[in-house]
Structure 1
Amino acid sequence: MLDRAGAAIDWISEGYRPAARPLAALRIVFALYVLVWPRDISWLATMSATGFDPPAGPFSLLPGPAPATAIHVLEVLRVVVALWLLIGWKTGIASGLLALILVVCSGLAYSFGKSDDVILFDLAPLMLGLAGWGSAWSKDARLGSAARPRGFPMFVYATLIAFAMFTAAAAKATTGWLLPTRQATRFFVVVTADSPRSGLLADTVLRFDNAVFWKALDYATAFVEGWLVVAVFIPILFRVGLVLMGLFHVGVWLLLGIDFHLHAFVYAGFFLVPPACYWRELALLRNVRTRLARPVAVIPQGAS
């Protein structure tokens, strides 16, 4: 039983194993993004202690807001570690440190009620570092100390993404999104239509007064977020799910004005696999379809 489970995990992990150079390119782009467009945390240095209300977790142990000096040190460290990652020396350590810094930046921002849903982006350096994005175009590669890319960390990362999306779908399912009499998507579009962050197509789509259309959006949202927990076990299906998630994020931006562009870094690594992975998984799906299409032999009653 354990041998079969291990073989299944190995097969899944192989389907997630990225190619070295495309993954290295993602490392370079990620590091440059952090350097050129860093998340603004300077406002934290000006916040009053009265607004400090961290969520449950490690940041709730802080006695109060981080001092301005700590914020400035954090900003400098972010630049230094991003440059370190860009060079690709001791890439695993640099990746873990950058992920830690990004998580701390987000945690401090969340302590004042600012929630941007970027935790999957913050964890990207850690997971992609474990996957081996320093295996090419890096100092490690020149020194011969870089390991080949690994698929298992990508499988773990995919599972985290799938679980995060499933919790969002479950929350919707338990708060009435699936009730035939409710139009949850329409409600949120109406609420944000008059706000400065309203999506580009909000007013246009709101003119479409069709209950079936709006209810279909509710069901589609829950499905796109929820089915990844099943698709994660077949890499090619998970990649299809990520494409659907990308379209979903674009739709949310067009209707609600919520920007999810950072998720491009979260999803990109899963598409950087060698072409052979796609053909292998397509062949598997064809075999499954063929088996399901085979007629089932019916033995007449009384036959021996």
Structure 2
Amino acid sequence: MILSINEKITNWLLSTWKPTFFQLGLTRILFCLGFYIFGLPQFIEISNYDLVFFDPPVGVSTLIGPITSSDFWWNFDLILRITFVSLLVGFRTKESSIVFGLLLLFGFTYIYSYGKINHNIFPVIFPIIMAFTNWGGALSVDALKNRKTKVEPRGWPLTFLSFLLGWGYFTAGLPKLIGGWLDLSYSTTAGFILRRFYSSAESLYLNEFFVKINNLFIYKLLDYNTLLFELGFIFTIFWSVVFLRAIGVAAMFHLGVLLTVNIPFSLHVLVFLPYIIYFYFNNNPQLSEKFESFFRRNKKIFIAIASILAIIIIADYNPIPFKLPQHSILFLVCVPSVFMLLPKSVNLFFIRMIRRIIPEK
């Protein structure tokens, strides 16, 4: 009995996802570009925090104590940017991924020690988890240097990540369930919408529209849909086909949260990238081959672009004309996720339409 359960768990862990090097390499690049658009954290601001607010949780900052040296945090930020560039271009990818994630953990531990807490744990640990997929096997300096190295892409980190995502959503939904979100007499979602509208912050997107609706039935639908999504997500992790649809739902959920409540989870949606890319390229091998061929043909151009971008990032130069809004990440990631929710027949229809518009050579 125990051996059978262990075998099923092992099979689920190792066989659920079969990504290719190209899919993983593209995930790495898009994750880094998304992180760059959002903005790399500037931990040097910690040196300006008032020590009276230093109240660290149990962890590294408790053992080390406050670090107020601006020189330390300036050098820390520089090392972070260099490591980030190494990850972007795929140089010593596994080591760069782990170090980048650990540096983020260290820096955010200190920021949180002063009372400021954000919901960004998943994009912080994401590169550490993805390091074990060997996502430097394509579209990277490592791939150019080690062409004869026998390294295989691994899917078990994606399975592990799916479990963490499921558990994260479940632990977010359970307090809501216990805390009265099922109560028909009021809506907590409406409270968030109204608080955002009447706060000093500017109301964005559909926030004002949902304030004017003023309908408890619609608000309760939002409450129940939130509970259903957050509590049910974890039960989809055992089947890749079902989980891909759940990722599509998750993307739409976070986009909806931005549009209605104006709460952006811009960095969080980046962890959906390996599954979104898997959906598009695993279902269409020809598309994957075309993209791989395109990158190979234009290798020198991409190397030049990567080199320029690396210099810009390390120098911490952010030209204003090229700065994109942070919310754009949500739209760029979530809009393509719509197709993950559509029936296969509808997706095939769109593929045929695209082929008519852009005929194959």
TM-score normalised according to structure 2 size = 0.71
After superposition, where does 1:113-262 map in structure 2 within 5 Å?
Answer: 113-142=115-144, 143=146, 144-145=148-149, 147-195=151-199, 196=201, 198-262=203-267
After superposition, where does 1:273-292 map in structure 2 within 5 Å?
Answer: 273=278
Per-residue CA deviation, residues 169-225 of structure 1 (Å, 9 max, x unaligned), is 011112111222231100111112122154422221111122211111111111111
CA distance in 1, matches of 2:64, 2:184: 45
Question: Given residue 259 of structure 1, which amino acid in structure 2 is its aligned partner?
Answer: P
Per-residue CA deviation, residues 81-102 of structure 1 (Å, 9 max, x unaligned), is 1122233233211110011011
Per-residue CA deviation, residues 100-127 of structure 1 (Å, 9 max, x unaligned), is 0111222222122222211100111111
User: 1:130, CA displacement in angstroms?
Assistant: 0.8
User: In terms of mean alpha carbon deviation, does 48-57 or 163-172 score higher?
Assistant: 48-57
Q: In the alignment, which residue of structure 1 is the partner of 2:270?
A: 265
Paired residues of 1:18 and 1:270 also in contact (CA < 8 A): no
Per-residue CA deviation, residues 212-268 of structure 1 (Å, 9 max, x unaligned), is 111111111111111121111112222211211111111111122211121232011
CA distance in 2, matches of 1:94, 1:146: 20
Question: Given residue 141 of structure 1, which amino acid in structure 2 is its aligned partner?
Answer: A
Aligned-pair identity in percent equals: 25
CA distance in 2, matches of 1:79, 1:186: 40
User: 1:24, CA displacement in angstroms?
Assistant: 0.3
User: In terms of mean alpha carbon deviation, does 165-174 or 257-266 score higher?
Assistant: 257-266
CA distance in 2, matches of 1:182, 1:77: 49
Paired residues of 1:198 and 1:257 also in contact (CA < 8 A): yes
Q: In the alignment, which residue of structure 2 is the partner of 1:282?
A: none
Structure 1, unpaired ranges of 5+: 280-304
User: In terms of mean alpha carbon deviation, does 55-64 or 120-129 score higher?
Assistant: 55-64
Structure 2, unpaired ranges of 5+: 285-361
What secondary structure does 1:16 align onto? coil
Q: 1:272 to 1:15 in 2, by over 3 A?
A: farther
Per-residue CA deviation, residues 34-79 of structure 1 (Å, 9 max, x unaligned), is 4563123332121110121223443333422442222112101111
Tell me, yes or no, if structure 1 residue 27 matches structure 2 residue 32: no
Question: Given residue 149 of structure 1, which amino acid in structure 2 is its aligned partner?
Answer: P
What secondary structure does 1:258 align onto? coil
After superposition, where does 1:41-120 map in structure 2 within 5 Å?
Answer: 41-120=43-122
CA distance in 2, matches of 1:24, 1:176: 44
CA distance in 1, matches of 2:232, 2:5: 24
Larger Rg: 1
User: In terms of mean alpha carbon deviation, does 92-101 or 68-77 score higher?
Assistant: 68-77
Alignment RMSD, CA only? 2.3
Paired residues of 1:165 and 1:225 also in contact (CA < 8 A): yes
Q: 1:82 to 1:108 in 2, by over 3 A?
A: same
CA distance in 1, matches of 2:196, 2:106: 30
Q: 1:174 to 1:274 in 2, by over 3 A?
A: closer
Q: 1:198 to 1:54 in 2, by over 3 A?
A: farther
Q: In the alignment, which residue of structure 2 is the partner of 1:288?
A: none
Question: Given residue 125 of structure 2, which amino acid in structure 1 is its aligned partner?
Answer: L
Q: 1:175 to 1:267 in 2, by over 3 A?
A: same
Q: 1:85 to 1:177 in 2, by over 3 A?
A: same
Q: In the alignment, which residue of structure 2 is the partner of 1:299?
A: none
Paired residues of 1:124 and 1:266 also in contact (CA < 8 A): yes
Q: 1:220 to 1:108 in 2, by over 3 A?
A: same
CA distance in 2, matches of 1:146, 1:166: 39
User: 1:11, CA displacement in angstroms?
Assistant: 4.5
CA distance in 2, matches of 1:65, 1:177: 41
CA distance in 2, matches of 1:255, 1:55: 33
